[in-house]
Structure 1
Amino acid sequence: MTKENRSLGMVAAMPQEIAPVLARIKGYAKGNIDGRNLYRFPVNGSCVYLIESGMGPAQAAAATRALIRHAQPDAILNFGFGGAVLPGLEVGELVLADRVFRLDQGIIGELPQPDSALAALIQDYCAKVGLQLRRGGFITACGIRNKGEMASRLGGSTALPLLEMETAAVLEQAQAAGIPLVSVRGVSDAADEELGFTIEEFCDANLNLNPWRVAWTISKRPWLIPQLVRLAGNSRRAGKRLALAVELALQALTRQTQL
């Protein structure tokens, strides 16, 4: 495969995760596939396709299938935010997945590991410019979960566990298609902050953010406002560092002689 013929896929759930990345990209084109935003841009002669999946495992799985069908990528980079389960990760830190778990109907199951060679490549490339990416276990759930409960259930079985909502679904689709995947996330909330709301209170049945539901929930529980303001600030901080990591990951992946 020649360098010019390569393509790289990217999957992220939310505009807040994607916007800081696009701010670092020059000359992207915006399109649509299966009702989802799709961004396309070149990096080092490779064509990169970034799809906005929406939140949750079902949305992530459908978006990844659409991305694979449309772009036939040689590798997939999944990125976004996550919440630390145990002490040891601070807001804004970056974590590469070396293990991925799915929480489904109260049962935690582990998936085959993401591509370790690509993770090492990205970690080393970022380290050269002083950006630290740590290794941890990602736990994909279909909503917000109590961190204390998750910590007790894990019992120290994985280092630096991070709660999120898409990685397992993206990984499963990529592996089914025989495509290597690597996932990186920025910490948006530390282990000592339990979120005081559920995702269902803010979203519709498809986990799309609904402004009316947000406003209704806040009107009934105005004490959530300080936490939401703090979370928004944390997400902006994590988003800037995550965008740099994603940019460096793209450089590392596309400079490979072969993906």
Structure 2
Amino acid sequence: MLKERIPLGIICAMPEEIAALLGDMTGIERRELAGREVLTGQLFGRPVAMIESGIGKVAAAMTATLLLDGLRCRAIVMSGVAGGIDPALAIGDLVVAQRLIQHDYGRLQAGGFTPFRPAVPPFGPGRNDYAFELPDGMLTRIHAALDGFTLPSLPTDLVGVDARAPVIKVGTIVSGDQFINDEDVRGRLQREFGAHACEMEGAAVAQVAEAFGVPAIVIRSLSDLAGSDSHLDFGKFVTAVAPTAAKVVERLVPVLD
């Protein structure tokens, strides 16, 4: 067990996402925490502990708990890729989560799906407090940190010469234990939750962070558009877009000071 306090915990679900940050990390030591490899060192001049969580809400929640309880981290950043939900967004764009929602937690009935706040029994009238929201003060600091910042363009052999410049959206990310590969589901997630992107971990990390009373920022580059071709786009773009999220991590880490 690691005894020292590491101020900032970094979670990535996949090795490609870890690799996007490793080039900026110095003084790396590889150690073990509850059977997980922990990379400790300096990232953008700050002491961090970085762990690959694996895919899904349970894996992410367990990893966040290890960082917050085992290392007593004072904040969490999750960096990686996601599927685009908002039709105005494109592969290579980036979403910073203002709201995080577990889109697969709630009551499934003949009339459809009713979301509930995670850990609350999904019975009785539907509730509207199922989202994990960033505090207003932190949201203001995020907007200030990203003001004037431009994302790098993806290679033209991937997106074509006519692709627009990537954009940053501060908005809603939904999380669930499914890889979304369906246009109808993509449309439902936008209609019901106002989602801009979907992934499989962020809202679970937010739930754990709230329980520990610490902030969590989730940063996601879009590797696919969560439609019928998402399984093809993901493999093609995941390595190319993961470094985009890493660049935004550098901008937003000071927000957590």
User: Structure 1 residue 245: deviation in Å?
Assistant: 1.0
Distance 2:249 2:228 in 1: 26
Distance 1:44 1:24 in 2: 7
The alignment-based identity, stated in percent, is 26
- 1:111 aligns to 2:162 (yes or no): no
Match of 2:122 in 1: none
Match of 1:144 in 2: 179
CA-atom RMSD, angstroms?
Answer: 2.5
Match of 1:124 in 2: 144
Distance 1:44 1:25 in 2: 7
User: Structure 1 residue 165: deviation in Å?
Assistant: 0.3
Match of 2:203 in 1: 168
Distance 2:32 2:187 in 1: 42
Match of 1:63 in 2: 63
Question: 2:86 touches 2:190 (CA, 8 Å); kept in 1?
Answer: no
Question: 1:135 touches 1:160 (CA, 8 Å); kept in 2?
Answer: no
Question: 1:11 touches 1:50 (CA, 8 Å); kept in 2?
Answer: yes
Count of residue pairs brought into register by the alignment? 218
User: Structure 1 residue 37: deviation in Å?
Assistant: 2.3
Cα deviation digits, residues 74-119 of structure 1 (max 9, x gap): 2111122110123111111111111111113754443331344334
2:251 alignment partner AA: L
Cα deviation digits, residues 12-32 of structure 1 (max 9, x gap): 111111111111222222222
Cα deviation digits, residues 48-73 of structure 1 (max 9, x gap): 11121111001011111111112212
Question: 1:87 touches 1:191 (CA, 8 Å); kept in 2?
Answer: no
Cα deviation digits, residues 130-170 of structure 1 (max 9, x gap): 34531221111112134423344345355452110001110
- 1:10 aligns to 2:10 (yes or no): yes
Question: 1:9 touches 1:73 (CA, 8 Å); kept in 2?
Answer: yes
Distance 1:71 1:115 in 2: 24
Distance 2:61 2:25 in 1: 25
Match of 2:162 in 1: none
More helix by share: 1
Question: 1:136 touches 1:158 (CA, 8 Å); kept in 2?
Answer: no
Question: 1:123 touches 1:133 (CA, 8 Å); kept in 2?
Answer: no
Distance 1:146 1:6 in 2: 38
Which one of the candidate residues 218, 235, 238 is aligned to 2:238? Answer: 235
User: Structure 1 residue 45: deviation in Å?
Assistant: 6.2
Question: 1:90 touches 1:187 (CA, 8 Å); kept in 2?
Answer: yes
Question: 1:89 touches 1:191 (CA, 8 Å); kept in 2?
Answer: no
Question: 1:85 touches 1:150 (CA, 8 Å); kept in 2?
Answer: no
Question: 2:183 touches 2:228 (CA, 8 Å); kept in 1?
Answer: no
1:113 alignment partner AA: E
Question: 2:82 touches 2:222 (CA, 8 Å); kept in 1?
Answer: yes
Distance 2:44 2:174 in 1: 33
> Which secondary structure state, in structure 2, belongs to the residue aligned with residue 156 of structure 1?
helix
Stretches of structure 2 lacking an aligned partner (at least 5 in a row): 117-129, 152-166
